[in-house]
Amino acid sequence: MFLTSDDAKALSDKILARSNADACVVKIDGGEDHSLRFARGGATTNLATSEISLRISSHIGGRIGSVTTTRLDDEALEAARARSEEIARMLPVDPEYVAPLGPQRYETAARYDDNAISLRLDALTAQAAQVIAEGARVGVDTFGCASSARRFEALATSAGLFAYEPRSEIDLSATARNKADTWSGWAGAHEFFGARLDAASIARRACAKAAQEAEPVDLEPGDYTVVLEPVAVADIAFWLMSAMDARAADEGRSFYSRPGGGALIGEKLFDEKLTIRIDPTDPLAPEGGVGWEGVPHRARAFIDRGVVSTLYRSRAWAQKTDAEAVPFARNFIVEGGDAALDDMIRSVKRGVLVTRIWYENMVERKSLLLTGLTRDGNFLIENGRITAPVRNMRFNQRLGELFGRIEALGATQRTWRAAGGGGAAAAPPMLAEKFHFSSKSSGV
């Protein structure tokens, strides 16, 4: 169920007016979603859903009780309000309690297109049809998912804050596999505006990568020069960003912890080519204006020319450390460089072009040791040319080392939804040395 700002305001005002708590916070989110999955030239699952949820958080004596409901009738809302207050009264006092925020100034992020027609299932079917047709033309099997959403988030507090943000989303991803089932390719994109999605380009790129008849090459595990395509860079950078919590750093539980105590803010930990920033007004991958806990997102760098410049800081930790609260970023932009992807490949004597990575997991948080595998489009580079598909490999890679020796970056582009849940990222292709592949994988 998609509510307008006025509808959300009226609903939250009604609940706030009835609150018996010291303070009250109302969070409403919902929307309409469509999705279509296809495989080998046919639809497998599809859905359209209309969803809404409303959370009431009652603050009583430094304690917070919350109840979330999907029912919006008066009886249900009144029961949720009363129960949230009952819970709060039964909890122990929170020694780090912070009261709800009052009015804030938010940047307007351009993430909403009111063209709901472009989000419906028949529009998604038309996109899938382009992938299926390209697969038939090139002679590969195609599999994919097209999805779209029109969603909103609203936040209101008894201290006078009201925030409302809508967003529209559309994405298409396609996997193609050759008929012999010995190779695969992938491409995908996520956009906030339906008209920006180029289904034909996604179809061409996925199918071209998969259309390999040559026997894939087996490489021995070891350190390799790699050219990572933008979606792979965004996936890996996401883990870098996820670890940037100030409290963990201050407490000695993080890669960003200073030996002996404190956080490594202001230290150069990465190659000076690395800058990662967020910006609600950036058209490429705009962060939402309303951050976690209602704290506004501002344009800022987290890593600025290799130097750690900002860490996330919850309001509770900000209060305790007398510092600015910084909300967790769902979107981010990895700044690019001036190298063309083809030029990067031409510069490699022997290495691997990686399209996509899969099943990453942090093995060791303190050293940011990340494991994962290549997937759907892995190619051998020899003497500046792509010479063959190369079988997938597992990597075990410390991210400080990877982003500490960047050889070149290309132009930043919007990537598929690496950050998930309404998030988007933008990243460039990246050339890096000594990427550590630890074992072979037969998975195609």
Structure tokens at 70: 């999907």
Closest CA to 390 of 229, 230, 234, 212: 212
340 vs 401: CA distance, rounded Å: 23
Are the beta carbons of 413 and 337 closer than 8 angstroms? no
| Site for other proteins, residues 250 to 269, rule: CB under 8 A | 251-253, 257, 259-261
Are the beta carbons of 307 and 266 closer than 8 angstroms? yes
- CB 257, min distance to other proteins, A: 7
Q: Is 320 in the site for other proteins (CB under 8 A)?
A: no
- CB 372, min distance to other proteins, A: 6
- CB 413, min distance to other proteins, A: 21
Stretch that binds other proteins, among 17-25, 124-132, 152-160, 402-410 (CB under 8 A): 124-132
> Which is nearer to other proteins, 76 or 195 (by Cβ)?
76
User: x/- binding map, residues 15-54, to other proteins, per CB under 8 A?
Assistant: ------------------x-xxxxxxxxxxxxxxxxxxx-
Q: DSSP characters for 237-253?
A: HHHHHHT-BHHHHHTT-
Among left, alpha and beta (phi > 0; psi -120 to 50; other), residue 222 is: left
- CB 440, min distance to other proteins, A: 7
> Which is nearer to other proteins, 23 or 121 (by Cβ)?
121
User: x/- binding map, residues 104-123, to other proteins, per CB under 8 A?
Assistant: ----------------xxx-
Among left, alpha and beta (phi > 0; psi -120 to 50; other), residue 47 is: beta
| Site for other proteins, residues 329 to 388, rule: CB under 8 A | 358-367, 369, 371-373, 375-376
Are the beta carbons of 77 and 69 closer than 8 angstroms? yes
- CB 323, min distance to other proteins, A: 19
> Which is nearer to other proteins, 261 or 266 (by Cβ)?
261
Strand partners, 369: 364, 398
Are the beta carbons of 99 and 23 closer than 8 angstroms? yes
> Which is nearer to other proteins, 267 or 338 (by Cβ)?
267
- CB 267, min distance to other proteins, A: 13
Out of 95, 266, 322, 349, name the contact with other proteins by CB under 8 A. Answer: 95
> Which is nearer to other proteins, 46 or 104 (by Cβ)?
46
| Site for other proteins, residues 53 to 92, rule: CB under 8 A | 53, 55, 63-71, 83-84, 86-87, 90-92
The size of the interface with other proteins (CB under 8 A), counted in residues, is 94
Q: DSSP characters for 351-395?
A: EEEEEEEEEEEEEETTTTEEEEEEEEEEEEEETTEEEEEB--EEE
| Site for other proteins, residues 173 to 212, rule: CB under 8 A | 173-175, 177, 184, 186
Half-sphere exposure of 98 (CA within 13 A, CB side): 15
**Cβ neighbours for 339, distance < 8 A, ≥ 6 positions apart:** 408, 409, 410, 429, 431
3-state secondary structure of 333: strand
- CB 210, min distance to other proteins, A: 11
Structure tokens at 92: 């122990």
User: x/- binding map, residues 395-414, to other proteins, per CB under 8 A?
Assistant: -x------------------
Q: Is 440 in the site for other proteins (CB under 8 A)?
A: yes
- CB 67, min distance to other proteins, A: 5
- CB 289, min distance to other proteins, A: 24
